[in-house]
Amino acid sequence: GQTFWCNHVFYNDMVKNRPDRRPVIFHRWGGLGSHRYQIGFSGDALINFPTLAFEPYFTSTASNVGYAFWGHDLGGHAFTDEKIVNDPELMLRWIQFGVFTPIFRSHATDDSRIERRIWKFPNFPKLRDAVKLRYALFPYIYTMARETFDTGIGMCRPLYYEYPESEEAYKYEGEYFFGNDILVAPITEPALEDGISSKEIWFPEGKWWSVATDELIEGPCRKTMCFTQEQIPYFFKQGAIIPYNPPTVMNVTERPGHLILNFVSGCKGEGVLYEDDGDNNDYSTVFATTILRQSFKNNKGEYVITPRQGIYTNGVNARSYTFRIYNTTQPVAVKVNGVETSNYSYDVKRKCTNIDIPCTDCTTEVKVRVVYSQ
């Protein structure tokens, strides 16, 4: 009762005193019924690897009771012992897991023994790379947040939502879907002495692009994979089109004039980009969507940005793009809207075709056709 009243007062105070802004409540997990509050956190987690290992399971299965948009005290909250309290590897793996959760924030109790400023850690470059990945992913995350709002289905959800007939979907509790198109299997145990982490991962039916290791994995299968400290086990579904911010974005409220679109080529697929003004109460009616499509036949791929639909008052009206098309051979010809272009390159190691698309009005179609070497 006290929690409900406290949140009721704070929310309505925001509605009254900041009518031009989007009111929000950030509430700790309080058991069944907590889904009535917009976003939340799990409470005071202990600083150790077993707690980290529990959180992917905890996060995804919370969708079963409607508690879909929440996060954790990344790095852990409460002191356990001197040996692990500021362990750089534990902090890194916790932050990397946090990238693939709805709410991304480190936090700890007021204790002089605990450090949460990532620039104070000896592996700061790796921690920073994880933060940069989070900023890059934000257009996809925001799109999936809208889907969670519309459907009630959690952004993080167990594998058995998609594959209920597969026993492995229940057994591999440390894996989950992050939105519609990303499978995540976070590293939650200390690495071996050489710094390499080995993990057995179950891949459901379909094909999955391993972003860390640049390979297409065909499911259903179990596969033991090795990852360096920098590498995160996350996988794009074949056919997916995942929008990224460019590295220049320093704040997730920015609306950049350039986007990166990640395609996993080789089959037909569709994605979407959702946009609204970001911080007002008009999102029910004032928003825009852009449907993204791809197809593949023989050695030819087609990649399409359809005209933006809807209302988007504070956004950019024109954009340039970088297409990153994974799982391809060397391109031999590229056409953008029917005109041959040389503004492309091929990354042999990543099996990735990169194409630069000039600035285009968001209400017009962009169609790219690529012929690949056999």
Q: What would the DSSP string read from start to end of 236-273?
A: EETT-EEEE--TT--STT---SEEEEEEE-SS-EEEEE
CA distances from 356 to 260, 307, 329, 335, 351 (A): 9, 18, 18, 11, 17
Residue 2 has pLDDT above 70, yes or no: no
In terms of pLDDT, which residue wins out, 19 or 161? 161
Strands 258-264, 339-340: parallel, antiparallel or unpaired by DSSP?
A: unpaired
Half-sphere exposure of 103 (CA within 13 A, CB side): 21
Helix ranges (H only) for the chain are 2-17, 49-61, 88-99, 124-151, 168-171
Q: For residue 23, name the pLDDT band (cuts at 50, 70, 90).
A: confident
Among 275, 332, 341, residue whose Cα is nearest residue 301: 332
CB 144 within 8 A of CB 182: no
pLDDT band (50, 70, 90) for residue 215? very high
The DSSP string of 142-209 is HHHHHHHHHH---SEE-GGGT-TT-THHHH-TT-EEETTTEEE----S---TTS-EEEEEEEEEEEEE
Q: Which two tokens stand for residue 30?
A: 């309080």
102, 68 Cβ separation under 8 angstroms: yes
Q: Select the more confidently predicted residue: 233 or 23.
A: 233
Q: What is the pTM of this model?
A: 0.94
Percent of the chain with pLDDT over 70: 99
- Return d(Cα 344, Cα 335) in angstroms, integer: 10
- pLDDT the model gives residue 253: 84
Compute CA distances 282 → 141, 276, 312, 359, whole Å: 19, 8, 10, 28
Spatial separation of the C-alpha atoms in residues 69 and 38, rounded to whole Å = 7
Say how far apart CA 278 and CA 282 lie, in whole Å: 9
- The amino acid present at 26, given as its one-letter code, is F
182-218 as b/e, with b when 16 or more CB fall inside 10 Å?
bbbbbbbbebeeeeebebebbbbebbbbbbeeebbbe
Beta-carbon neighbour count of residue 143 at 10 Å? 21
Residues 258-266: what's their mean pLDDT? Answer: 98
Res. 1: pLDDT tops 70? no
49: number of Cβ within 10 Å: 18
Residue % of the chain over a pLDDT of 90: 71
For 266-290, what is the mean pLDDT?
Answer: 91
Predicted confidence at residue 228, as pLDDT, reads 97
Q: What's the whole-number average pLDDT of the chain?
A: 93
- The reported pLDDT for the residue numbered 200 is 98
Q: For residue 135, what are the contacts with CB-CB under 8 A and spacing of at least 6?
A: 245, 249, 250, 252
For the stretch 309-319, pLDDT in tens is: 998 888 899 99
Alpha-carbon distance 301 to 295, whole Å?
6
- Give the mean pLDDT of 171-196: 96
pLDDT digits (tens, 9 = 90+) for 290-304: 999 999 999 999 999
pLDDT value at position 13? 84
Task: Give the mean model confidence (pLDDT) for residues 39-67.
Answer: 90
Number of H helices, E strands in the chain: 5, 21
- Sequence-ordered list of residues with C-beta below 8 angstroms from that of 54, at least 6 positions apart, any chain: none
